[in-house]
Amino acid sequence: MKRTHRVEIALNSDEKQTIETKAQLCNVSTAQYLRDCGLRRTLMAKPPADVITIRISAGTAKSKLMMLRHLAGETNNQQILDTIDDAIALVDKTIAASFNINISEETTTNG
């Protein structure tokens, strides 16, 4: 839909900086951010690249541990199986924690 109407707003420097920063965190333009806030749409901040890397790496590590567990099952060595299960549990905790990391002051913004 083509937008044909403009709205002008007066801001001080701090307000302008805050709005621009929040728009960047949500990976949208400032205009889109203000439009979404005004229309009461929920905005989600995009996770930093490091958090995404943690999630991907932990998922890959878990996959490799699952393959190792399958191979270790062939040996029937309970100590090895228990150690692998403990490692898988730690990776699961890491993955869960990476979804609970605060990305900024607020992870969601409601206008």
What are the tokens at 74?
């062939």
Task: Quickly count: other Cβ atoms within 10 Å of residue 23's Cβ.
Answer: 20
Which residues lie closer than 8 Å to 106 by C-beta, 6 or more apart? 45
Which residues lie closer than 8 Å to 61 by C-beta, 6 or more apart? 91
Q: Domain limits of the chain?
A: 13-46+104-110, 49-98
Which residues lie closer than 8 Å to 38 by C-beta, 6 or more apart? 111
pTM: 0.52
> What pLDDT digit, counting tens, does each position of 23-64 carry?
888 888 898 889 888 887 776 667 778 888 888 999 999 999
CA-wise closest residue to 34 among 19, 14, 46, 49: 19
> What pLDDT digit, counting tens, does each position of 53-110 carry?
888 999 999 999 999 999 999 998 999 999 999 999 999 998 888 887 665 544 444 4
What's the length of the chain? 111
